[in-house]
Amino acid sequence: MPQGTIRHGSYMPGVSGSGSLVIDNERYTFSPDWFSFGCLVYEMIEGRAPFRARKEKVKREEVDRRVKHEQEKYSSKFSECARALCSALLAKSCAARLGGAGRRGADTVKAHRFFQRLNWPRLEAGLLEAPFVPDPHAVYAKDVLDIEQFSTVKGVNLDAADDTFYGKFNTGSVSIPWQCEMIETGCFNELNVFARGRYI
């Protein structure tokens, strides 16, 4: 879907991390996606979701109320920069939310000081070594039937047939054969240059 295109979200249980527009079943662009990204970053740092305590049994309606009306709390695990990023992504107002304003939303998120040392072109080209690489045979997702109960992740493993099938998918914004050709020909050698203290 082209950036800036309006889409209508249908309500689904367990999407409380998408913000009030999705909860209220209103029209939206990418603002709820940035809210969800804020929830993900928060959970990666804190070890729990921003609007529900770990292992807390809460009805969906209560989580929805918290998303719309309560401010998330930050522990000492958050650096000042990480807190600023999460606060900006989890802003209640779509207009005030980082990334939520217009067609250049992703650029505003990438420009946040939290990411200042990240070389985005090298990352997209697959030239940065990831600090964590997920197991390609594991499915890190909740069973759709368990979402409302906030169940734990199920241990689903993919087999060789799955690997063959998914290996045909392209990754990133360009096809894998094109990426390989560009790497082999050295067209983007300037991406391999490091500026002291700037790129990771």
- Looking at the fold, whether 92 and 170 belong to one and the same domain comes out as no
Q: What domain count does the chain have? A: 2
- CB crowding 134-166: b at 16 or more within 10 Å, else e: eeeeeeeeeeeeeeeebeeeeeeeeeeeeeeee
6 — pLDDT class (breaks 50, 70, 90): very low
Whether 8 is covered by a domain: the verdict is: no
Whether 150 is covered by a domain: the verdict is: no
CA distance 172 to 81: 27
CA distance 196 to 132: 24
72 — pLDDT class (breaks 50, 70, 90): very high
What pLDDT is attached to residue 58?
83
**In this predicted model, which residue has the larger pLDDT, 103 or 117?**
117
- Looking at the fold, whether 171 and 120 belong to one and the same domain comes out as no
Domain interval for residue 176: 160-192
What pLDDT is attached to residue 192?
62
- Looking at the fold, whether 116 and 39 belong to one and the same domain comes out as yes
- Looking at the fold, whether 36 and 122 belong to one and the same domain comes out as yes
Whether 100 is covered by a domain: the verdict is: yes
- Looking at the fold, whether 26 and 79 belong to one and the same domain comes out as yes
Per-residue pLDDT for 5 more than 50? no
Whether 133 is covered by a domain: the verdict is: no
Give the pLDDT confidence of 125-167 residue by residue, as tens digits. 888 887 777 777 766 655 444 444 444 445 666 678 877 877 7
Q: Where are the beta strands (DSSP E) in the chain?
A: 7-8, 27-28, 138-139, 156-157
